[in-house]
Amino acid sequence: MAKKTLTPIEKNKIEYDKFVTNLEGKTLEELEAMEQELIKTIDKHDRKVAKTQFKVNDKESLNKAVEIFRYFMNKQKVQFNYVLGMVQLYEAFKPDMDLLDYPIFDMCLINLGQLEFSGYEEWKKILEFEEFTKPYSEAYTELKAKTYLLAEEHTALQKKMEMLIPVTPNDGAGPDALAPEQ
């Protein structure tokens, strides 16, 4: 019987469960030391993500993907505070790219993922865009899953630390300090 290959998300679930189990019985000081190491790991991962580029092998597919992306972006209504970011993304995702930066690719997917598509023509367009993403999908998913894993580990660590921080009585600076004396 062939062994099932785990997806990055399944692998990360196993790693997360091990991480959470490892938190048990740790002192606050040990958890704080773990947090410092985790922050270093997160910083290293963030730098890796920011530098990641995908080599564009199919210029025709890229050209069509840019056309589709811009078609959908041109249909959007956004508040003023989003305009600059949308313009920068629109201009950054261009048909003459040899390398596709992870942050640009990620933001394109995030933006398209928030949209609704109506009618056969739009459905076909977004499926064509999805075809463009396939060569980059595995590497993208691994990086994205690792980003989420590290964030979830940090959250679990912080929650565990909060449980170990002693609660101090109200020192008069809280909301009760404003109550009139009786």
pLDDT in tens, 101-132: 999 999 999 999 999 999 999 999 999 999 99
Burial 134-157 (b: 16+ CB within 10 A, else e): ebbeeebeebbbbbebbebbbeeb
Interatomic CA distance for residues 50 and 102, integer angstroms:
7
Look at residue 170 in the predicted model and tell me its pLDDT: 64
The pTM is what? 0.80
For the stretch 145-169, pLDDT in tens is 999 999 999 999 999 999 988 777 6
For the stretch 60-111, pLDDT in tens is 999 999 999 999 999 999 999 999 999 999 999 999 999 999 999 999 999 9
Average pLDDT score, the chain? 92
Interatomic CA distance for residues 180 and 177, integer angstroms:
8
* Identity of residue 89: L
Interatomic CA distance for residues 94 and 85, integer angstroms:
15
